[in-house]
Amino acid sequence: MHPFMPRTVIFEPSALQYPVGEKIYRYFQDKPVEIIKTPLSVFSKTLSELSEKQRYAKSKTVLAVTRNQQKKLQPCKPSADYQFALVSNCPGSCEYCYLQTNQSYKPYLKVYVNLEEIWETIAVHISKLQKPIVTFEASSNGDPLAVEHITGSVGATIEYFGKLVEGRLRIVTKFNNVNHIINKKHKGHTRFRISMNTDYVIKQFEHGPDSVQERLDAAEKLINAKYPVGFIIAPIIIYENWKEEYRNMFKNIYEKLKTIIPDDLTFELIQHRYTESARQRILVRFPNTRLDMSNNNRRLKWGKFGQFKYIYQKEQEEELREYMHQMIRFYFPDSRIEYFT
């Protein structure tokens, strides 16, 4: 698939004082995009005049270039010790995405240019935690690799982590935009996880991310470049034929990578969940969605966004967990399952 190209790029004036901001500005000079220099608060007001559906559609064509001023990082269990953001939001538009909960009001994509300050915040958190290894998840607010051809921020951050003794970077992606980072000096300190699902889930609920084959090509390139690699299977959804289709998915991964499966391959397993606010927003944004969000079939669990989330009933959850473990043990007996949640 072609790499993401916005229709409108908003530069916050302060972002242009940073090398990454300048670089992005130069990148767009010969591209057919509308460039606007304005504070994001002013731009956001123009969106507030639109209906929810219009705002969502328009936002997916906008890239905002700004700064990340977060100094206190949030924990990111079970994936990492902390999460931080190089981007917020995503050019993709998956119906089940966690962004429907935590980035719902301003769904346009933001990229952050103040890398040195972001890295400084990371260094402070490493020294605070005083653990031999401190892990940082970069994909909790969106997919940073999706815009790497524009920002170069993932590559620069990989090299920053390559120099750290205690810090480790973790990135999840559904995009195959990996050519920009293949030659980075990562020293094995960045683990990429490719997000995978069945053909049905991808075709039915994902709009914008790269295809299964492209994601597997990305995994192959990353393994050949000696990056630690894993897969996130998320969201795991129960539907007719789900067992057969998840089996095919694992088989597909195996067939593609069987000659280069790394010793430290990992899997992370996340069952489908949603909050009530996300459910309502998804139904407005995707009125014909086939995503099963019947609350009566689910149970409630307290979630990190300060809201209850709906997850599968205990019996279904156990069936999912057991089946996924069984498949992974069959196709990848030497791999490690990091968690099921």
**Strand segments (E) across 69-181:** 74-76, 80-83, 87-88, 109-112, 134-137, 167-173
Identity of the residue, 90 or 212, whose beta carbon is nearer to ligand SF4 in the bound complex: 90
The nearer residue to ligand SF4, 164 or 270, going by C-beta atoms, is 270
Choice between 125 and 273, CB closer to ligand SF4:
273
Minimum CB distance to ligand SF4 smaller for 55 or for 174? 174
Regarding 97 and contact with ligand SF4 (CB under 6 A), the answer is: yes
**Which residue shows structure tokens 């509308």?**
34
Q: Does 76 bind ligand SF4 (CB under 6 A)?
A: no
**99 interacts with ligand SF4 by CB under 6 A:** yes
The CB-of-6 to ligand SF4 minimum distance in angstroms stands at 15
Return the residues of window 196-225 that contact ligand SF4 according to CB under 6 A: 209
Tokens linked to 89: 């939001």
Of the candidate residues 62, 86, 87, 94, the single one contacting ligand SF4 (CB under 6 A): 94
- Separation CA 196–CA 218 (nearest Å): 12
Nearest approach in angstroms of CB 19 to ligand SF4 is 26
| Least gap, CB of 81 to ligand SF4 (angstroms) | 21
CB of 46 to ligand SF4, least distance (A): 23
> How many CB atoms neighbour CB 9 within 10 A?
22
**Interface with ligand SF4 in residues 157-186 (CB under 6 A):** 174
Beta strands at 308-312 and 298-302: parallel, antiparallel or unpaired:
antiparallel
Q: Counting contacts by CB under 6 A, is residue 6 touching ligand SF4? A: no
Joined together, the tokens standing for residue 225 give 């470049």
Beta bridge partners of 112: 66
Find, among 130, 98, 35, the residue nearest to 232 by Cα: 98
Q: For ligand SF4, which residue of 63, 90, 113, 138 counts as binding (CB under 6 A)? A: 90
Check if the beta carbon of residue 218 is closer than 8 Å to that of residue 194. Answer: yes
By beta-carbon proximity to ligand SF4, the closer residue of 90 and 219 is: 90
Position 92 contacts ligand SF4 (CB under 6 A): yes
The site string for ligand SF4 over 305-324 (x = CB under 6 A, - otherwise) reads --------------------
Q: Which stretch binds ligand SF4 (CB under 6 A): 5-13, 29-37, 89-97, 271-279?
A: 89-97
- Report residue 325: phi and psi, to 5°: -60, -45
- Minimum distance between the CB of residue 237 and ligand SF4, rounded to whole angstroms? 13
Give the whole-angstrom CA distance, residue 39 versus residue 66.
9
Determine if 235 is a binding residue for ligand SF4 (CB under 6 A).
Answer: no
**Of the candidates 123, 93, 105, which has an alpha carbon nearest to the alpha carbon of residue 47?**
105
Pick the closest to residue 151 from 128, 181, 131, 171 (CA basis). Answer: 181
The 8-class DSSP code of residue 278 comes to: H
Q: What is residue 144's DSSP assignment?
A: G
- When asked if residue 144 is in the footprint of ligand SF4 (CB under 6 A), the reply is no
- Smaller CB separation from ligand SF4, 85 or 324: 85
142 touches ligand SF4 by CB under 6 A: yes
What lies within 8 Å, CB to CB, of 232 at 6+ separation is: 172, 193, 194, 195, 196, 267, 268, 269, 270
Question: Which stretches of the chain bind ligand SF4, using CB under 6 A?
Answer: 90, 92-94, 97, 99, 142-143, 174, 209
